[in-house]
Structure 1
């Protein structure tokens, strides 16, 4: 998959929806689910994944067609956190629920009418395979990056396994996989090529404003007090959250980064990895997000005892 393939395919601006299996296909026998033995189950729903929220949402929206879809069809500018809360759970249920095919198609069908034009007049459609796969790729990257950075180092074989599992995950949406890389090495090449396409979209510039200007204080805290108490919070955001971002995103969003900040980020990441044995002793409801925890409870498997490296 190259940038040229993306440019050509995305301008078709046509949905490519796959037909649903029929009851005659015996859905339960199809390889259309992940389970407790998968690395995606182990790591995707881990609470430490929230440290990658800006990387996930940000990389998605540095691609103009996707960002314009959010701008045209979402309430992100009026309810940024609310949008995240509404879109996140269905995607997580696609992985962890007992009916992943249903949830995957529900996520897909949210996007049936998301279409329009971008700045050069060309059309986009959210269910165009090149655009829809890019959105999925950012979730795959989140699992790989957050696990390797904040949980524990992944071996090359484990990274390859996560990518192979991500292909099953993508199947659940019922959108053509024509743009999907076929190997982990191809995925890395694809990812790097997409980073070079990043632009400062209206959506992403807005969504990263708090990293440039500081977190706005709640109305119930006096402004002079907030200026004092927000100092460590803003310092954390500008080191840890900006530290998770690829340099291309920092550049288009005009986010400061330097070697001194990188060293601080590396120390924080190393501390988090060193604390992994402690995290693995936490109660399940503290270690996993709600929808992941429901999946583990249903299977009766304790993930704290598996895939610890």
Structure 2
């Protein structure tokens, strides 16, 4: 599939993060995130996957799209909102402001997106990979993580990632959170969640998949391989406007929400009711 890589103004990072195919990595990334005990406990205590999975996905997508495609002011506004929320995500043995956890979550966003992108489009050139990696550090640094905590080079990251993934031991908290994720309260999203579960099961390392108790065997692998073959053949040939629909939708939605919030602030509070 070489030569078919997406490009946005010749920016390799934009070419990766603009693609709708990245949505196939959603549950894959989430499961890796919550497999880190500090992240899993924070999500357990401060999130509601079962009630609002679509809202949770929207929040992650807006974060990624704002940082990669928004103006500087938009990126800071979104990141600032996340930082304010994270100040309250604290427990006896975790904090969302822990640089180690910030690096891990950012690492999953980068690595899972790259995995799916190369699965669909084929291997990227090393220089382009380096550019995507460098740009992706913003997923951690925008939340207050010191820049030096992000592995300095892509080679450093590969060592970090390999060791971190190999060390994963899925605990009961992570399995409980995954259970909420895969059993949403809203019947309308259950079919989508089943697709995400299947994709995550095929993308995860075997020991992580087994740790979550996700069923997988030769029949599942054959189905997954057939799906990948079809996507590789069809998806890169779709019009760019189709492949970037989620990005464009969520950026417009973000800007509408910002405009409504700004208009509300400008109008000020309602006048006091007249006395009787």
Which bracket does the TM-score occupy, shorter chain normalised? 0.7 to 0.9
Offset of 1:187 from its aligned partner? 1.0
Alpha-carbon distance between aligned partners in 2 of 1:289 and 1:178, rounded to the nearest angstrom: 32
Corresponding position: 1:84 with 2:57: yes
Which among 156, 163, 166 is matched to residue 186 of structure 1? 156
More helix by share: 2
Pair 210,112 (structure 1): closer, same or farther in 2 beyond 3 Å: closer
Q: Is the Cα–Cα contact under 8 Å of residues 82 and 143 in structure 2 kept in the other structure?
A: yes
Q: Look up the match of 2:136.
A: 166
Distance 2:197 2:67 in 1: 32
What's the counterpart of residue 252 of structure 1?
A: 211
Paired position in structure 2 for 1:270: 229
Distance 1:92 1:202, change over 3 A: farther
Provide closer, same or farther for how the CA distance between residues 203 and 48 of structure 1 changes in structure 2, counting only shifts above 3 A.
Answer: farther
Could you say which residue in structure 2 is the equivalent of 1:54?
Answer: 27
1:141-167 CA distance string (max 9 Å, x none): 122111011244323332222112212
- Asked whether 1:218 is paired with 2:191, we answer no
With normalisation by structure 2, the TM-score equals: 0.73
CA distance in 1, matches of 2:47, 2:185: 22
The 1:111/1:71 distance shift into structure 2, 3 A limit, reads same
Which residue in the other structure is 2:17 paired with?
A: 44
Counterpart position of 1:71: 44
Q: Identify the residue that residue 266 of structure 2 maps to in structure 1.
A: none
Q: Does 1:206 align with 2:176?
A: yes
Scaled by the length of structure 1, the TM-score of the pair is 0.66
Unaligned 5+ segments in structure 1 are 1-34, 118-122, 220-225, 296-309
Aligned residues: 243
CA RMSD, aligned part only? Answer: 3.3
Residue 102 of structure 1 corresponds to 77
